[in-house]
Amino acid sequence: MPVKRSEISELAYTKRKIESNISNFSAWHQRSKVLTSLWDAGKLDKVRAIEEEFDLVRNAMYTDPNDQSVWIYHRWLVGPGDDKVVIEREVTSIQELLDIQPDSKWCMDSLVFYKRLLLRRHGCGLDNEERARLEKECADLLNDLQNVDPDRRQRYLDLCEFPLDTPTSHAKGWSHQAH
């Protein structure tokens, strides 16, 4: 019977597994569970740990921008969108990656997701010009996604029509958000 690792050991173990294979969805998922437990117990500085996690996930994004595990974990880390500064920072980071990888489906999809999250959660604080710019950028990205990912063309067409004031799911299956 295997010996149960401490949560800190489990965190180190998941990091080693991710570093050896960033596509290891189980390791990313387990990491989210361990971090949540450590934060809830007050055993780990949440603010510092989240920034370290953003560094880890950004490195993984640049390593393989087509790996969905990384992007799903990133959405869990961003959480429900309460922190506008975090969303804007991550949009900038993802846009930089998209500039290098212009056909990255996950970069485009995530930019749409986060820009729509900005509009939905923080739209009241934006002026009309900023809202219009974000909406146009989303529409342009959704149009590009139809070409990059034709199997999901209807999904992107539907997103163009989806009202922003209706909540969408994010990171389904990972019940506790980082924020």
Structure confidence by residue, pLDDT tens digits, 76-122: 999 999 999 999 999 999 999 999 999 999 999 999 999 999 999 99
The Cα angle at residue 178 between residues 177 and 179, in degrees rounded to 5: 90
Instruction: Please report which confidence band the pLDDT of residue 177 belongs to, taking 50, 70 and 90 as the band edges.
Output: low
Question: Using one digit for the tens of pLDDT, what is the confidence trace for 150-173?
Answer: 999 999 999 988 756 434 434 333
Of 143, 113, 119, whose CA–CA distance to 132 is shortest?
119
Sketch the domain layout of the chain as residue ranges.
Answer: 7-78, 82-168
Within 10 angstroms of residue 63's Cβ, the number of other Cβ atoms is: 12
| C-alpha separations of 25 from 31, 53, 62, 70, 101 in Å | 10, 15, 17, 8, 22
Give the pLDDT confidence of 55-73 residue by residue, as tens digits.
Answer: 999 999 999 999 999 999 9
